[in-house]
Amino acid sequence: MSIELTDCPQVLRDAVNKRLEKISYAKIIAVTKHQFTPYVDKDRVETKYKAYIQAGFEFLIISTSETSGGSPLDGEISTNYLNAGDLQAIIGAADYIKEDIAGLVKNNQE
């Protein structure tokens, strides 16, 4: 689900703003929130927040999570980097998403 950065935990907002201050040409291209139940106890819900930042040909995915009932990893920040070449390799090799991505590209060109 797409959300605004202001809907995310403060720890993620701080991490994103720190990156944006360091890289003047970077911009937020998406912010998402997903909830799932990875535990045996299905009453425990993990909520994962992700901010996607583009800086030229590089992409940063900064994320954190919150778990109902708590988890040692709650509030930890994870940062992953991809560049345009990484995305091309993934799209070129991924069996299940090629058609979806082709459709998205086609729709954005129309």
Domain 5-83 adopts which CATH fold? Answer: Pantoate--beta-alanine Ligase; Chain: A,domain 2 (3.30.1300)
What are the residue boundaries of the structural domains of the chain, listed by start?
5-83
Tell me the pLDDT tens digit for each residue of 79-89: 999 999 998 89
Stretches in the chain below the pLDDT threshold 70: none
Question: For position 107, what pLDDT does the model report?
Answer: 84
Closest CA to 56 of 32, 22, 83: 83
pLDDT for res 39: 80
Cβ 28 vs Cβ 45: under 8 Å? no
Residue 74 is given by DSSP the state T
Q: Sheet harboring 78-83: ordered strands across? A: 27-36, 46-55, 58-67, 78-83
The pTM of this model reads 0.86
Backbone torsions φ then ψ of 109, nearest 5 degrees? -85, -20
Determine the pLDDT at residue 77. 98
